[in-house]
Amino acid sequence: MNATMPQPLKLSTFASHRWQCRWRTGLAAGLVTLLAACGGSEDAKNDPVNPPVVVTHADAKVWDISRAMGPGINFGNMFESPSEGEWGLTAKPEYIQAAWNAGFRTVRLPVRWSNHAASQFPYTIDAAFLNRVTTVVDQLLARGFHVVLNMHHHRQLDGDALDAGEFAVDEAILEERFVGIWSQIGHHLGSRSDKLLFELYNEPHGRMTASKWNTLADTTLKQVRISNKERVVVIGPASYNDPYALGTLTMPLDAYLMSTVHFYQPFAFTHQGATWVTPPQPTGVACCSAEQANVIFNGIHHAKYWSDAMGYPVLLGEFGAYSAADMTSRVTYTRLVRQSAAQANMPWAYWEFGSSFGVYDPVANTFRAELTNALIGN
């Protein structure tokens, strides 16, 4: 094992009475510092000035949904483009049926809501766009999928350069607008079944520091709860949903939460030749050596240890390897990640359906058998 590689935290490192108190420090920095209310005397627990910390972990309903989600696929490059279809794919009914027939049972649906909402209060979402997304959500639910609906690619919120066809708003209202958009989504879709999950935001980073994200997630969740009292809401950490950033995530005091991480390590393999990566990653990198396999196992199980200690399921919301890698290596990598997630009892969603990471060939209208088998087969 590479000595410089981040090591997963051992479950025994966490407090043995982890459900009796609220962990407020990072996994990496605060493994020995608990709030005074954790444990302690009866006098301390009854102190009106320093009351005990509220117990919080996921309700049994959340764990049941987590276990029922089954193999997942991201319907990527559809609704998270500035406008649907600009990045080559649209959400077709035949894709929904094809995904079901292949054995997928969860669809994560990335949506760029920020480009379809007004720039002034009350930040009204374009009705045609909202109805279009709703139609696809309803088609997926009717087919039997669990659906993870998210906010994706809000470039300005992260401080990133805007994509072509994307518009900016007054930076002073970015967070307020984010909350306002989620309020509308929640009210519009609040009557849907528990198979619909809301994921507050994809890969917060940059301007959206861990501290700012924790505050925004908590504020947004409160607004969502007005119309969705017990819907499962998914919240991942800053730093692009990196598993090793879970220690920076403060889960709100709410029993109907699930966390999420994304995993693309080893990055030199998964993103070789990707045109959007700076600096470009050289091609010709194979996978998976024993060292690379350790990186995969450790990253996934770091999230598992966090889940066991904190009491929330974790969704592996994205993983995959770009098409510039050789297919044999992509298949090996995909199977290793899927197997590691299975060992961790972690639901997952592969990135993605039919684009540059895709398991489906939209030209030939067929699944790539080797990749599909790595995900669904043995």
Per-residue pLDDT tens digits for 100-143: 999 999 999 999 999 999 999 999 999 999 999 999 999 999 99
| pLDDT grade for 44, boundaries at 50, 70 and 90 | very low
Q: List the CATH code of the domain at 58-376.
A: 3.20.20.80
Give the count of beta carbons closer than 10 Å to the beta carbon of residue 88: 12
Tokens of 317: 């919301």
Give how far the C-alpha of residue 55 lies from the chain's centroid of Cα atoms, to the nearest Å. 24
Which among 80, 270, 53, 70 has a CA at the least distance from the CA of 165? 80
pTM: 0.87
∠ Cα 254 259 263 (to 5°):
170
Q: Contact at 8 Å (CB) between 76 and 109?
A: no
User: Phi and psi at residue 216, in whole multiples of 5°?
Assistant: -65, -40
User: What is the mean predicted confidence (pLDDT) over 41-67?
Assistant: 70
| pLDDT tens-digit readout, 253-282 | 999 999 999 999 999 999 999 999 999 999
Delimit the domains of the chain by residue range. Answer: 16-55, 58-376
Task: Determine phi and psi for 269, rounding to 5 degrees.
Answer: -85, -50
The DSSP secondary-structure symbol of 214 reads H
Note the pLDDT tens digit of each residue in 283-305.
Answer: 999 999 999 999 999 999 999 99
From residue 192, alpha-carbon distances to 147, 230, 316 in Å are 11, 12, 23
**Long-range residue pairs from 22-31, CB within 8 A, at least 24 positions apart, any chain:** 22/53, 22/54, 22/55, 22/56, 22/253, 23/309, 23/310, 24/53, 24/250, 25/247, 26/247, 26/248, 27/246, 27/247, 27/306, 27/309, 28/244, 28/247, 29/247, 30/247
Average pLDDT over residues 311-321: 98
Q: Which residues are part of the catalytic machinery? A: 203, 318
49 token code pair: 């000035």
The share of the chain scoring above pLDDT 90, in percent, equals 84
Using a pLDDT cut of 70, give the percent of the chain over it: 85
How confident is the model over 176-190, as pLDDT tens digits? 999 999 999 999 999
Lookup: tokens for 202: 């994809």
DSSP 8-state assignment for residue 262: E
Q: Of the candidates 316, 313, 332, which has an alpha carbon nearest to the alpha carbon of residue 370?
A: 332
The total number of residues shown for the chain amounts to 378
Tokens of 375: 């995900």
Give the DSSP H or E segment for 128: helix 127-143
